[in-house]
Amino acid sequence: MAEEDIRSEISQLGKYRLISHLMGHDEKNNPPAHVIDDAMVTDTGGQLTVTAQKLFVENVHFDLTYFPLKHLGFKCATIVFTDVLAMNALPRELSLCLAVSNRFSIEALDEFMAGVRACCHYNEVELTGLDVTSSVAGLTVGMTATGAVEPDRLVRRNGARENELICATGDFGAAYAGLLLLQREKQIFEATHNSHPDFDGYEYLLERQLKPEPRLDIIRKLRELDVVPTAMTAVSEGLATSLFHLCEPDTLGCTIYEGKIPLAQLTFDTLRQLKIVATTVALNGGEDYELLFTIRQDDYEKVKTEHEIAVIGYIGEKNGGRNLISNDNKQIELKAQGFIEQEK
Amino acid sequence: MAEEDIRSEISQLGKYRLISHLMGHDEKNNPPAHVIDDAMVTDTGGQLTVTAQKLFVENVHFDLTYFPLKHLGFKCATIVFTDVLAMNALPRELSLCLAVSNRFSIEALDEFMAGVRACCHYNEVELTGLDVTSSVAGLTVGMTATGAVEPDRLVRRNGARENELICATGDFGAAYAGLLLLQREKQIFEATHNSHPDFDGYEYLLERQLKPEPRLDIIRKLRELDVVPTAMTAVSEGLATSLFHLCEPDTLGCTIYEGKIPLAQLTFDTLRQLKIVATTVALNGGEDYELLFTIRQDDYEKVKTEHEIAVIGYIGEKNGGRNLISNDNKQIELKAQGFIEQEK
């Protein structure tokens, strides 16, 4: 066929340029707001319905050699709930589709569902639908979560304005550090067929990798504080990617401070042992499933004493630079390639 | 690990018993209504939002050796829109996730998206979200569609009552007949590496297999006629499965008439050439993506002249038989195994 004469490799474009291309936007034109949001919005007259969808593929998104199925169920639900939360909506319902090969027993699927159910339970979400189908290779999970939000509370990715403050929740890099520990054990096991992992003292890192929890508490807290962020996104591929997402639609600039990026001491120490710079992991690691949002300066007083919310910098002018001010007070440009390179 | 000591194969249960088990319902207890619907329902105060999700896996749900990618995109969208329509809702937004291996070029994905966009365009649905991720093998498509419906128009699977009429839209078996023709050509090609398929005169069957269209027209027509079905479901795995779904929650009986099942003459003739009984295909074939619904007897006058709606039988009493009255006036029991056997 004629169209097969031209073949352009997916790898030529980064993930986000590929998505933009497939959605029919050229590189010069910004896509409409909704296309770059974490979830889609349906207006049926009352509160808005927010719908987030994710696909998880075995050996791409998870490795069952060290990932217990129960934790996997919990984590997949967390990830899709996080996308709902990133619109400032509260998750309501979850439906899922499983494609499973005959490698999986009913007991294995029971474990997975127990994790899904636990995550639904903790977050007051109703599990409303399940479909199971065959797979030729491994496990693929499709999850769709709905949520609800009052129209005046909806937050999109593209609402940030100059001089607004950039806030991050929780801490960063722990899940990536946990992954490194698990991968190291896997390599030892594969080499020696004998492994007695001793994760004593590293529980927090493993927990952040294996059982991240959706930040429902933050969305509730923001309501309590009467703060509506001007823009928000989930942090799933490192702070840098999410930061660019908040700046991108309007090509805004930003400045963040290395010293303000929240890091657990254990994350810092563990990465140091592994000879990895913690800031690099926070910026370009991934799987934190925290929230990154911008607020008006007027709202600073309301959030400044909140333990789980850190103001890490501010939005700069349009076409301004995107910089990190390092601990030794150097200005380092955050590069767009930074997040393109680390894409799968 | 202890839990691996017991291993029950998925194949022990049929698809629907497996789903019921994983959702935490035992065999004696009927699941709550929403669990067995074609889509999930979110009530945010205005119209209801209906959300349908589907997963399509290469070499399980589609075979790219004879399925053009553009048609695949169109068909996947049709299938997920059909689940929205089956709740008597009109589709509104679509988001999708693609997991693709590097076998696929950008041009291939462009083709797929062109099909998706065409189906969205014809059905006045907005394409609002896209995510692309890696796959270790082939193409997996996750699609989520939302729709809206007034609360008093929502139709679930479990609303049928004794003596109500069973209605089917369009005609049946054509997509399955089209599949048989395509599979025959594939076998010829694999055996001879030379195939000049001549599908002249069979276009309708191929179209029903390769480019099924969602029955938006039916849902609009029902509104025009002021008919709200009492129960409805999509017909994706043959009439028998869908019929059991409508009867199942309340273990109702039903009677349908072989002579009333809508079949295109071409479907009948083609299947006859292939020595297959057309009624068997209509009951147990699949991929028709038509709608099956029940109406009150009072509404019969409103639908009886509608070309695209056929009354094929009626709902019988609770715990009554589920029967097909054949053309030679024999009563044949529709067996539950009928639809379990043909599951993947």
Write down the domain spans for chain A: 37-153, 165-341
Q: How many helices (H) and strands (E) does chain B have?
A: 11, 12
Is any Cβ of chain B less than 8 angstroms from the Cβ of A209?
Answer: no
The mean pLDDT value for A106-134 works out to: 94
Q: How long is chain A?
A: 344
Beta bridge partners of B99: B133, B140
Q: Judge: domain B165-341, CATH 3.65.10.10.
A: no
Tell me the nearest-neighbour CA distance from B256 into chain A, angstroms.
Answer: 28
pLDDT of amino acid B23:
85
Pick from A40, A46, A58: CB nearest B45: A46
Query: Residue A85 above 90 pLDDT?
Result: yes
Pairing of strands B252-257, B322-325: parallel
pLDDT tens readout for residues B19-35: 888 888 765 555 555 55
Q: Closest residue of B to A150, CA-based?
A: B44
Q: Are A154 and A48 in contact (CB under 8 A)?
A: yes
pLDDT of amino acid A320:
86
Neighbours of B196 (CB within 10 A): 7
Q: pTM of the full predicted structure?
A: 0.91
The answer to whether the CB atoms of B95 and A51 lie below 8 A apart is yes
The mean pLDDT value for B174-194 works out to: 89
Determine what percent of chain B falls in helix, strand and coil, rounding each to the nearest 5: 40, 25, 35
The answer to whether the CB atoms of A53 and B95 lie below 8 A apart is yes
From chain B, pick out residues whose CB is under 8 angstroms from the CB of A136: 57-60, 137-138
Token pair of A64, please?
A: 């069952």
Query: Residue A25 above 90 pLDDT?
Result: no
Token pair of B6, please?
A: 């017991």
Helix axes A174-192, A203-210, angle to 10 degrees: 100
Give B 16-45 residues with CB within 8 A of chain A.
Answer: 18-19, 21-24, 34-35, 37, 39-45
pLDDT of amino acid B137:
84
Question: If pLDDT is split at 50, 70 and 90, which confidence band does B79 have?
Answer: very high
Q: Are A81 and A145 in contact (CB under 8 A)?
A: yes
Question: If pLDDT is split at 50, 70 and 90, which confidence band does A286 have?
Answer: confident
Q: Angle CA(B76)–CA(B82)–CA(B87) in degrees, nearest 5? A: 145
CA distances from B228 to B89, B147, B274 (A): 11, 17, 39
Q: Are A173 and A282 in contact (CB under 8 A)?
A: yes
pLDDT of amino acid A26:
61
From chain B, pick out residues whose CB is under 8 angstroms from the CB of A8: 105-107
Is any Cβ of chain B less than 8 angstroms from the Cβ of A65?
Answer: no
| SS3 state of residue A312 | strand
Pick from A11, A47, A57: CB nearest B45: A47
Q: Are A39 and A52 in contact (CB under 8 A)?
A: yes
Question: If pLDDT is split at 50, 70 and 90, which confidence band does A336 have?
Answer: low
From chain A, pick out residues whose CB is under 8 angstroms from the CB of B51: 49, 51, 93, 95, 144, 146
The answer to whether the CB atoms of B11 and A102 lie below 8 A apart is yes
The mean pLDDT value for A202-217 works out to: 96
Query: Residue B117 above 70 pLDDT?
Result: yes
Q: What are phi and psi of A40, to 5 degrees?
A: -100, 155
Please choose, from the candidates B58, B61, B116, B63, the residue with its C-alpha nearest in 3D space to the C-alpha of residue B91: B116
From chain B, pick out residues whose CB is under 8 angstroms from the CB of A10: 100, 102, 104-106, 109, 132
Please state, rounded to an integer, the average pLDDT across all residues of chain B: 90
Query: Residue A127 above 60 pLDDT?
Result: yes
Q: What are phi and psi of B108, to 5 degrees?
A: -65, -45
From chain A, pick out residues whose CB is under 8 angstroms from the CB of B117: 24
Q: Judge: domain B38-153, CATH 3.30.1330.10.
A: yes
pLDDT tens readout for residues B269-283: 999 999 999 999 999
From chain A, pick out residues whose CB is under 8 angstroms from the CB of B18: 106, 109, 132
- Please state, in angstroms and rounded to a whole number, the distance separating the CA atoms of residues A53 and A275: 36
Q: Are A175 and A212 in contact (CB under 8 A)?
A: yes
pLDDT of amino acid A4:
52
Q: Are B165 and B297 in contact (CB under 8 A)?
A: yes
The answer to whether the CB atoms of A12 and B106 lie below 8 A apart is yes
The mean pLDDT value for B79-103 works out to: 96
Percent of chain A topping pLDDT 90: 73
Neighbours of A338 (CB within 10 A): 18
Report the amino acid identity of residue B220: R
Among the ranges given (B11-20, B27-36, B308-317), the one the predictor scored with the smallest mean pLDDT: B27-36
pLDDT tens readout for residues B207-248: 999 999 999 999 999 999 999 999 999 999 999 999 999 998
- Please state, in angstroms and rounded to a whole number, the distance separating the CA atoms of residues A190 and A184: 10
**Eight-class DSSP state of A276:** -
Q: What are phi and psi of A286, to 5 degrees?
A: 150, 175
Pick from B7, B48, B57: CB nearest A140: B57
From chain B, pick out residues whose CB is under 8 angstroms from the CB of A63: none
pLDDT of amino acid A33:
52
Q: Which residues of B232-261 are buried (b: 16+ CB within 10 A; e: fewer)?
A: bbbbbbbbbbbbbbbbbbbebbbbbbbeeb
Question: If pLDDT is split at 50, 70 and 90, which confidence band does B180 have?
Answer: very high
pLDDT of amino acid A32:
58
Report the amino acid identity of residue B160: A
State in Å, rounded, how far the first CA of chain B is from the last one: 30
From chain B, pick out residues whose CB is under 8 angstroms from the CB of A23: 113, 127, 130
The mean pLDDT value for A137-148 works out to: 94
CATH homologous superfamily for A37-153? PurM-like, N-terminal domain (3.30.1330.10)
CA B110, distance to chain mean position in Å, is: 26
Please choose, from the candidates B119, B147, B143, B139, the residue with its C-alpha nearest in 3D space to the C-alpha of residue B130: B143
Query: Residue B285 above 60 pLDDT?
Result: yes
Q: From the candidates B47, B51, B66, which should be mutated to test the interface with A, based on the most A CB atoms within 10 A? A: B51
Query: Residue A339 above 50 pLDDT?
Result: no
Is any Cβ of chain A less than 8 angstroms from the Cβ of B284?
Answer: no
Report the amino acid identity of residue A180: L
- Where are any strands of DSSP class E within chain B? 40-43, 48-57, 90-100, 126-134, 139-149, 165-169, 231-235, 252-257, 290-295, 309-318, 322-325, 331-333
pLDDT tens readout for residues A229-274: 999 999 999 999 999 999 987 789 999 999 999 999 999 999 999 9
| SS3 state of residue A168 | strand
The ipTM estimated for the assembled molecules is: 0.88
Is any Cβ of chain A less than 8 angstroms from the Cβ of B340?
Answer: no
Token pair of A111, please?
A: 């474990």
pLDDT of amino acid B342:
32
Tell me the nearest-neighbour CA distance from B54 into chain A, angstroms.
Answer: 7
Report the amino acid identity of residue B119: C
- Please state, in angstroms and rounded to a whole number, the distance separating the CA atoms of residues B183 and B176: 10
Is any Cβ of chain B less than 8 angstroms from the Cβ of A55?
Answer: yes
